[in-house]
Amino acid sequence: MDIVDAIILGIIQGLTEFLPVSSSGHLEIGREVLNADLLAAENLLFTIVLHFATALSTIIIFKDDIVELLRGSISNSINGNHKYLFKIIISMIPAVLIGLFFEKEIEILFTGNITLVGSMLIITGILLLLTKISKEKKGVISYYHSFIIGISQAFAIIPGISRSGATICTSLLLGNNKKQSAKFSFLMVIPLIFGKIIKDLCSNNIAFNNIDYIVYIFGFISAFITGLFACKLMLKIVKNNNLNIFSGYCIILGLISIIITSL
């Protein structure tokens, strides 16, 4: 993998992490198209770099909300900030359990199975279409809704299922506010990303020798910059209830992926 490949993959990660089209699915397709073959240890490290970049862009976009939550949680009395943080913790439970007990099975999904990616992209497209029938309510996201949204996030571990698409669509279908649905979707994944990064870094699966760090730096920068842009864009899209505009893209890309791999 050279610098150009890293920049392209970084752009793919930055855009698709927030837009409801599956970042993992696009990275799998991107690696196949670019033939960016990496050793397992290098692949894991590059994935960590890209996810850290998009997590950092999320923190910057929502820095005021995060600071407010952290300041409010310092209080000894139970308040709205404590409850919101608890909802985020609840939403993490399904994905954490899946990650702990099915780690080997998850790894198998990321072996260039483009047919699987295409099939899941079609499912993502159908899910996005369903947002047009959702009825928005003014209430806040409940504890029960947090867990249901967390289940959809767990399913998004499968490459081709969009995490942001699945969680926001689920929240909207439950009748939650558009703005709050997008905010909750982006905030709930931050601890999961950093938890996964720490877990991977502490494992013995990463080799830091003979790595061209310049390539990784370019990948990080491209993912970070495009992540900032995509996050802001996604907030506007959700606000205008236009998630369905990506449904056709996901379905078409999914069909093309399946057809090409079957030839």
- Structural contact between residues 3 and 218, judged by C-beta atoms closer than 8 angstroms: yes
Confidence of residue 92 (pLDDT cuts 50, 70, 90): very high
The Cα–Cα gap between 77 and 248 comes to: 48
| Helix, strand or coil, per DSSP, at residue 8 | helix
Question: What pLDDT, on a 0 to 100 scale, did the predictor assign at position 9?
Answer: 85
Percent of the chain at pLDDT > 70 equals 88
Q: State the pLDDT confidence band at 78, using cuts at 50, 70 and 90.
A: low
Domain count, the chain: 1
Determine the pLDDT at residue 40: 46
What is the structure's pLDDT at 206?
A: 66
Averaged pLDDT of the chain: 85
Q: 8 lies in which domain range? A: 3-262
Place of tokens 């399904």: 94
d(C-alpha 173, C-alpha 137), whole Å? 10
Residue 138, pLDDT score: 65
Structure tokens at 232: 């802001």
Q: What pLDDT, on a 0 to 100 scale, did the predictor assign at position 221?
A: 95
Residue pair 30/9 in contact by the 8 Å Cβ criterion: yes
> In the predicted model, is pLDDT for residue 42 greater than 80?
no
Residue 222 confidence (pLDDT) above 90: yes
Q: State residue 139's pLDDT score.
A: 65
- Please report the pLDDT score of residue 134 as a whole number: 67
With 90 as the cut, is the pLDDT of residue 135 above it? no
Mean pLDDT for the stretch of residues 103-114? 81
Which tokens in the block code for residue 36? Answer: 């960016």
pTM for the model stands at 0.85
Q: Among the residues of 176-244, which ranges form H helices?
A: 178-202, 213-239
